[in-house]
Amino acid sequence: MPKVTKEKILKSEVLFKGKDLNLHRLTVELASGKPFEADIAERPDEVIIVPQTSENKVILVEQFRRGVGETLLELPSGKIEKGESAATAARRELEEETGYRAGKLEELAKVFVSPSWTTIKRIFFSAKELTPISNPKPRDLDENIEVVEISFKEALDKAIYGEIQDAATVLGLLLTQRFFTS
């Protein structure tokens, strides 16, 4: 294996503590021996769910996104709460955002969102054997969501041709291609 040096952390200080976001300033020792400062964002890990119906459709949500000021079509997703497992978070977010319960949940992949400057991991799940919930839990107060059910083929086309713009949604759809028949 090539020899990439693991950097030693010389100092770590908290720059900012927010609701979901903490910023740290790390001082690391570079391979050259020189010190270097890097700002790292710490946020909760996230789950992304690919809900597949028995009719080969995928359930998406349309949502206003504050980071970019646009309404985007996405897979259901959300933050993992403190003490919660990824699978429990996936079931909870699926129920809250779409009103469906998954009979079968399978972990697909676990990736770092942007490992140069954030701690965040994204864990992808496939959700099958969906049944509507009679008494859905209320959504988070700040969520502004519409549920959209479309064929997997249509969703994948939207992902490939740039109509779906959310990175996690494009990745989730590409990862589950093999589960859907076209």
**Residues 10, 18, 137, 154: which binds a second copy (CB under 8 A)?**
18
Q: Say whether residue 63 binds a second copy (CB under 8 A).
A: yes
Q: Say whether residue 101 binds a second copy (CB under 8 A).
A: no
Our CB check for a second copy shows the closer of 65 and 137 to be 65
Q: Quote the least distance from Cβ 25 to a second copy, whole Å.
A: 8
Contact 61, 145 (CB under 8 A): yes
Tell the burial category of 88 from Cβ atoms under 10 Å away from its Cβ (0-12, 13-18, 19+): middle
Determine how many CB atoms are found less than 10 A away from the CB of residue 152.
21
Dihedral pair phi/psi, residue 15, rounded to 5°: -95, -35
Q: Which stretch binds a second copy (CB under 8 A): 50-58, 93-101, 115-123, 150-158?
A: 115-123
**Residues 116, 131, 135, 182: which binds a second copy (CB under 8 A)?**
116
Our CB check for a second copy shows the closer of 103 and 115 to be 115
Which residues share a beta bridge with 128?
104
Q: Say whether residue 150 binds a second copy (CB under 8 A).
A: no
Q: What's the token pair of residue 57?
A: 């459709």
Q: Which helix (H) or strand (E) holds 91?
A: helix 86-98
For β-strands 121-132 and 46-51, DSSP reports them as: parallel
> CA-to-CA distance for 10 and 1, rounded, in angstroms?
26
**Residues 33, 83, 138, 162: which binds a second copy (CB under 8 A)?**
162
Contact 94, 51 (CB under 8 A): yes
Q: What residue ranges bind a second copy (CB under 8 A)?
A: 1-7, 15-16, 18-21, 23, 26, 28, 30-32, 34, 36-41, 43, 62-72, 109-120, 122, 141-142, 144-146, 148, 160, 162, 165-168, 170-171, 174-175
